[in-house]
Homo-oligomer: A and B are copies of this chain.
Amino acid sequence: MSPRVIRRQDYSLSEEQLQLSKVFASLFERESPSVRVRAAEPVGFDADLWQQLTGAGVISMALPEAVGGDDATLVDLALVAEEFGRSMAPVPLIDAMTAARLLAAVGAPEGVVRALAAGTKTATIALHPFHARERQLISSGAMADIVVGLDGDALVMSEGPPPAAVANLACAPLAWRDLSTNDHTRSIVAEGLAAELAFAHAVLEWKALMAAAQTGIANGARILASEYVTERHAFGVPIGTFQAISHPIVDIAAGVEGARRLALRAAWFLEHEPECALGDVLMAFVAASDVANRAASFGIHALGGLGFTLESDMQLYFRRARGWTLLAGDPQADLQQLGDHLYGPEPTH
C-alpha cells in the first residue's frame, strides 16, 4: 500500500520575501563594505553598525508581536542571515537573534526581552550544554551583555560585562564562559523538559540561520572569484577560460544552490513543522559549511598570490567559512547526529 502522502516541493520565494532579501542585501552592502569588516578586526565587532542595525529592527523583527516584535518567519530571518553572511558584517546577528527568540519563547522577564528588541542590550547563546566547571567558547561572548545557556535541565542567563576576547581564526568576538557556576550574575529562566526543548530548538534555529549565512559566504566568495578570473589574464586569455578554474567555480555554484535550498527548507520546517525539522537542519548546516569552506579555499587559489595576502577580501570569507561554523563544533558530530536520527534505534530529540 502506498503511503499516499504528497508534499509540495515549492522552493519559490514570495514577492515580499524577494523584497526583504533585496532590502537587506543593499543595507549590508551599503553599511558593511569589506573595509568596515576589516576595520573591526581582530575583535570582529562594530558597535556603531550594530546600533544602526538594531535600530533598524533586525532583532525586533525576529521577536513575537507580544513583546513588540514583528514576528517575522524563520524563512525571512534565513534570507536576512544569507545577506548578513555575504556581507560578513561585524555584528552578532545570528547569536543575538537566536538568544532573543529563545528568551522570548521561554518567557524571560519582559524588560530583558524588550531591551533586546530595542537593541539596548545584546544576548548570545552558549551552543553546548554546560557541565560542571567546564567553560566553553561563546560566539559573541566578548561583546554580549547577556549569555543564555543550558545547565542540566535549567535554562540559565548571565548578565554582566563580557570577558576579554580571545583572538581566533574567524576574527569573531569570542570569549570563554562557564555558566555552570552559580554566581550573582546568573539567573534561571526556565527549567525541566520545556527548558531543554526550547534550548534544543534554539540551537537548531542557530544552525539553520548559520547555514543560510554560510550560503551567503559561499556565494560571495564564488562571485568574487568569478569576477577576478574574468578580468585576470594569463597566457593572453582570461584565466576563467581554463577548466581548472571554471569547473570548480561551477561546482561551487552548484553547491550554493543545493545548500541554499536546504537552508531555506530547514527554516520552513522549523517554522511550520518543527517536529520534522531536525534532519533538514543538520543537512543544511553540514552542506552549507562545506560549500562555504570549499568556495573560500578555492577562491584563494583562483585569486593566486593575491588571494593569499591579507589585502584580499577572499581571506575574509575564508576565515569565517570555517571559523563561524566550527563554533557549533565538529561538523562530523552533526553528521553523526543525522545518522542516529535517520537510522538509529531511538530518535535523538
Binding site for B on A (CB under 8 A): 242-244, 247
Contacts and interface: CB of A to CB of B under 8 A. Distances in A.
Contacts of A244: 243, 247
A170 to B, nearest CB: 29
A254 to B, nearest CB: 15
A242 B242 CA distance: 8
A243 B237 CA distance: 15
A243 B246 CA distance: 10
Contacts of A242: 243
A244 B248 CA distance: 10
A335 to B, nearest CB: 15
5 contacts: A242-B243, A243-B243, A243-B244, A243-B247, A244-B247
A239 to B, nearest CB: 11
Nearest to A245: B243
Main secondary structure on chain A at its contact with chain B? helix
A243 B244 CA distance: 6
A254 B247 CA distance: 21
A20 to B, nearest CB: 39
A58 to B, nearest CB: 43
A336 to B, nearest CB: 15
A242 B244 CA distance: 9
A43 to B, nearest CB: 37
A242 B245 CA distance: 12
Contacts of A243: 242-244, 247
Contacts of A247: 243-244
A247 B243 CA distance: 10
A339 to B, nearest CB: 15
A33 B175 CA distance: 67
A280 to B, nearest CB: 27
A292 to B, nearest CB: 24
Nearest to A247: B244
A159 to B, nearest CB: 44
A246 to B, nearest CB: 9
A244 B245 CA distance: 10
A252 to B, nearest CB: 15
A248 to B, nearest CB: 10
A243 to B, nearest CB: 4
A242 B243 CA distance: 7
A244 B247 CA distance: 8
A179 to B, nearest CB: 34
A199 B243 CA distance: 49
A133 B135 CA distance: 53
A167 to B, nearest CB: 30
A118 B279 CA distance: 61
A244 B243 CA distance: 6
A247 B247 CA distance: 12
Nearest to A244: B243
Nearest to A242: B243
A238 B242 CA distance: 16
A302 to B, nearest CB: 14
A303 B244 CA distance: 19
A220 to B, nearest CB: 26
A247 B242 CA distance: 11
A81 to B, nearest CB: 35
